[in-house]
Amino acid sequence: MMHPGYIKIEDFTYNLPESKIALFPKEERDESRLLIYENKQINEDIYYNISNHLPENSLLFFNKTKVINARLLFKKPSGSTIEIFCLTPHKKYGDINIALSVKKQVDWECLVGGASKWKKDAVLEIKNELPDFTLFARLKEKLANGTYLINFKYTNPQLTFAEILNFVGKIPLPPYLNRKEEKSDIENYQTIFAQNEGSVAAPTAGLHFTEKILNKLPLKNISTHFVTLHVGAGTFMPVKSETMQNHLMHTEWIEVTKTTIETLINGLTKKIIAVGTTSLRTIESLYWIGFKLHKGLPLDDIAVSQWDAYILEDTISVKTSLTAIINYLDANNLDKLTTQTQLLICPGYQFKIVKGLVTNFHQPKSTLLLLVAAFVGTDWKNIYNYALENNFRFLSYGDGCLLLPDNR
């Protein structure tokens, strides 16, 4: 496989007028428009009818992560505001679920707006009346990647950090919406199957799905399954380096049950379709995790790094790889796999498992657009030109597409 470090991000851009960015979702989720790309042909419909365009007997995989209220606004005595955006817990916790369940105090890696006005070791606070608690924040250190390590302490010993965020945090709307959150966003910015807390951004492809759509899928023997990838803020970060070799891909937590991996093994002869780039990234990461386990690499090194797919000699079958994960889980008496992925999917990536993708329209010069280009080849330009010329709505609250390349 050719190493993608040479790829120039300038080759993956397009003109996105602000008027094309959807600031709010459709009133009915499943009335969003759906571009269908199949065998190099483009058609359109609405999400409510997506089952008409999905292959029979296919397996549809959703991301059931839940967005947390990751934005915290602290008022300084001077009246200025310090905004803290909780990105990911300190690595000492080993699992985002553990960090969210911690009581009394916790350390998180954060973005900080107004950091220049916040002296190290100075303590900020937010008071809450019902339930009664005070949240304190102390800046411990600036990290190499431009983020900050923040220590949070909270006075009510009964509350977990997840509960603290629910009471005083704000919905982390994407920065490109450039508006304040509204009450409707509390519901609109979660999928209907959101369950596992930990994301700082919604898996937006799933926002279009309703119970009405899910109820139609069995008519074509389409089964639904779930994985978890906790979306990080890096998903919004444009690539700023000229070539990909100088871009650091963000790392995200994934969680997949043993039952789901067994379902994948048994369904490899069928069309496996990912709803969202996050679901796709999770499923494809499983191959590389299993590959490492099969090759006997150290167990603490099963997380997927940025370039693994381009430097490892992948000479085993998908079934062998996934079976290695099952064997690992059995040997350690685990019912689910929890690890991290930094996998960068660029043009040149050879997809191992996923054969179809449901996704929104992504930002220019983004790793998400690179993933789409890897999936459909140079036709990504035709797809995006069609969407622009036919007034599709872009980005998180916008419309989306079903991609079924003929080479899958």
Report how far apart, in Å, the C-alpha atoms of 212 and of each of 13, 28, 49, 218, 358 are. Answer: 36, 11, 10, 12, 17
Among the listed residues 11, 6, 14, 7, the one whose alpha carbon sits nearest the alpha carbon of residue 383: 14
For residues 157 and 109, give the distance between their C-alpha atoms in angstroms, rounded to a whole number. Answer: 22
- Strand 400-404 and strand 33-38: the pairing is parallel
Beta-carbon contacts of residue 155 (< 8 Å; ≥ 6 apart): 133, 134
For residues 327 and 324, give the distance between their C-alpha atoms in angstroms, rounded to a whole number. Answer: 5
For residues 253 and 66, give the distance between their C-alpha atoms in angstroms, rounded to a whole number. Answer: 13
155-177 CB burial, b ≥16 within 10 A, e <16: ebeebbbbbbbebbbbbbbbeeb
Range 70-170 has CATH code 3.40.50.2300:
no
Neighbours of 214 (CB within 10 A): 16
pLDDT for 8 beyond 70 = yes
Question: Tens digit of pLDDT for each residue in 145-158?
Answer: 778 999 999 999 99
For residue 289, what is the DSSP state? H
- Strand 41-46 and strand 33-38: the pairing is antiparallel
What are 86's strand-pairing partners? 110
**4-66+188-404 and 70-170, same CATH topology:** no
- Provide mean pLDDT across the span 334-344: 94
Question: Tens digit of pLDDT for each residue in 234-254?
Answer: 776 778 888 898 888 888 999
Beta-carbon contacts of residue 339 (< 8 Å; ≥ 6 apart): 253, 254, 289, 302, 303, 304
Residue 395, pLDDT score: 96
Sorted by where each begins, the domain ranges of the chain are 4-66+188-404, 70-170
pLDDT for 41 beyond 60 = yes
Beta-carbon contacts of residue 295 (< 8 Å; ≥ 6 apart): none
Are the C-beta atoms of 314 and 295 separated by less than 8 Å? Answer: no
Beta-carbon contacts of residue 389 (< 8 Å; ≥ 6 apart): none
For residues 343 and 367, give the distance between their C-alpha atoms in angstroms, rounded to a whole number. Answer: 11
Are the C-beta atoms of 198 and 96 separated by less than 8 Å? Answer: yes
Q: What would you report as the CA-atom Rg of the chain, rounded to the nearest whole angstrom?
A: 21
Cα 286–292–296 angle (5° rounding)? 140
pLDDT confidence of 94, banded at 50, 70, 90? confident
Question: In this prediction, what percent of the chain has a pLDDT beyond 70?
Answer: 98
Question: Tens digit of pLDDT for each residue in 165-220?
Answer: 999 999 999 888 988 899 999 999 999 999 999 999 999 999 999 999 999 999 99
pLDDT for 315 beyond 90 = no
Range 4-66+188-404 has CATH code 3.40.1780.10:
yes
Residue 248, pLDDT score: 84
For residues 345 and 367, give the distance between their C-alpha atoms in angstroms, rounded to a whole number. Answer: 8
For residues 374 and 352, give the distance between their C-alpha atoms in angstroms, rounded to a whole number. Answer: 12
Tokens matching residue 176: 């490109």
- The predicted model scores a pTM of 0.94
Are the C-beta atoms of 99 and 90 separated by less than 8 Å? Answer: yes
pLDDT confidence of 84, banded at 50, 70, 90? very high
Residue 397: phi, psi to the nearest 5? -95, 10
- Strand 223-229 and strand 252-257: the pairing is antiparallel
Residue 203, pLDDT score: 96
Q: Provide the 3-class DSSP secondary structure of residue 86.
A: strand
